[in-house]
């Protein structure tokens, strides 16, 4: 299968790329910094492109069977448009080239309901503080991205992970179309779900939660690293 991964040089994008190559798929890894992407696999093509460049996006999408978007930016005060602008360019390119399958990443925060069994403090203080202050511009643009995807006519799936952290391997993760209990998702598990959705069409036109249940870190460790160190 031919799969194009946007945001491929981010930690989640690298997970999707590596797992797809390990399964024998052909991958086009799209990144603004192709010189920084590890090459060496005959089935890997690294494409230098910016999602704000429609012509470059079109070239990357041509000839693909599925598109995976792992685009992401750090939290900050400035307005964010990379999610919505990126998926708009990707969707137009998919229509142009007749590509139907689209899988992209947003956040479990966009379920707008608390995780089952969550503590009062996390539900009423911690998560709202992140969503409405430090992460506000990111989540606003994620919401715009989701609206664009939902209103399109492609075979789409939006995966909404919780707080992201790094792990060495894919675990026995949980997947559902409603918010799951737990606070964290490993990037290895997220990459696995993105790949499975792209390849197997498991949850077409649905919003999907994924949750890691083994070896999860402490909340302060994740907030300290992820809230100010970037997403994706």
Question: Which DSSP letter does residue 185 get?
Answer: E
**Phi-psi region for residue 112, left (φ > 0), alpha (ψ -120 to 50) or beta?**
left
pTM: 0.91
Backbone angles phi, psi at 166, to 5 degrees: -90, 145
- Burial tier of 24 (Cβ tally within 10 Å: 0-12, 13-18, 19+): exposed
Which range (19-23, 122-126, 204-208) has the least confidence?
Answer: 122-126
What's the CA gap between 128 and 108, in Å, rounded? 12
* Average pLDDT value for residue range 151-169: 95
pLDDT per residue over 53-96, tens digit each? Answer: 999 999 999 999 999 999 999 888 899 999 999 999 999 999 99
pLDDT bracket for residue 110 (50, 70, 90): very high
Q: Give mean pLDDT, residues 124-136.
A: 76
Q: Report whether 66 contacts 3 (CB < 8 A).
A: yes
User: What local confidence, expressed as pLDDT, does residue 227 receive?
Assistant: 54
- How many Å apart are CA 199 and CA 229, to the nearest integer? 31
Residues in contact with 82: Cβ distance below 8 Å, sequence separation at least 6, in sequence order: 51, 52, 71, 72, 73, 141
3-state secondary structure of 124: helix
Whose structure tokens read 């998560």?
Answer: 127
**Does the structure show a pLDDT above 70 at 48?**
yes
Q: Contact 123/169 with Cβ under 8 angstroms?
A: no
Q: From CA 198, how far away is CA 68, in angstroms rounded? A: 7
Question: Residue 27 is encoded by which pair of tokens?
Answer: 């991958």
Q: Which tops the pLDDT comparison, 42 or 133?
A: 42
CA max distance for the chain: 51
Q: Of residues 121 and 148, which shows the higher confidence score?
A: 148
pLDDT bin (cut points 50, 70, 90) of residue 116 is confident
**Gap between the Cα atoms of 11 and 69, Å rounded:** 12
Compute the radius of gyration of the chain from its Cα atoms. Answer: 17
What's the rounded mean pLDDT across residues 10-19? 97
Contact 80, 137 (CB under 8 A): yes
* Cα 120 to chain centroid, rounded: 28
pLDDT tens track for 209-221: 999 998 887 766 6
- Which pLDDT does position 13 carry in this prediction? 97
- Give the residue-averaged pLDDT of 22-28: 98
More confident residue, 125 or 197: 197
Topology adopted by domain 2-229: Rossmann fold (3.40.50)
**Calpha distance 224→176 (Å, rounded):** 27
Whether residue 230 has pLDDT greater than 60 = no
What is the SS3 assignment for 84? helix
Q: Across residues 106-132, what is the average pLDDT? A: 80
The tens digit of pLDDT for each residue in 87-109 reads 999 999 999 999 999 999 999 99
What whole-number distance in Å separates Cα of residue 135 and Cα of residue 227? 8
């Amino acid at each position: 299968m031919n799969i194009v991964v946007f945001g491929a040089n981010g930690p989640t994008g690298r997970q999707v790329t590596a797992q797809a190559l390990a399964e024998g798929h052909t991958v086009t890894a799209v990144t603004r910094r192709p010189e920084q992407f590890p090459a060496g696999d005959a089935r890997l093509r690294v494409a230098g492109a910016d999602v704000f460049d429609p012509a470059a996006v079109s070239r990357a999408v041509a000839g693909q069977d599925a598109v995976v978007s792992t685009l992401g930016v750090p939290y900050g005060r400035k307005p964010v448009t990379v999610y919505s602008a990126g998926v708009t360019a990707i969707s137009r390119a998919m229509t142009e080239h007749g590509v139907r399958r689209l899988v992209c990443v947003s956040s479990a925060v966009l379920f707008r309901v608390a995780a089952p069994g969550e503590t009062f403090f996390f539900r009423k203080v911690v998560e709202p503080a992140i969503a409405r202050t430090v992460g506000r511009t990111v989540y606003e643009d994620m919401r715009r991205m989701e609206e664009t995807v939902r209103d399109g006519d492609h075979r789409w799936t939006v995966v909404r992970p919780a707080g992201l952290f790094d792990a060495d391997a894919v675990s026995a993760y949980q997947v559902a179309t409603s918010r799951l209990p737990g606070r964290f998702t490993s990037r290895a598990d997220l990459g696995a779900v993105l790949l499975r959705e792209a390849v197997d069409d498991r949850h077409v036109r649905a919003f999907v939660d994924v949750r890691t249940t083994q070896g999860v870190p402490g909340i302060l460790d994740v907030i300290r690293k992820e809230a100010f160190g970037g997403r994706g």
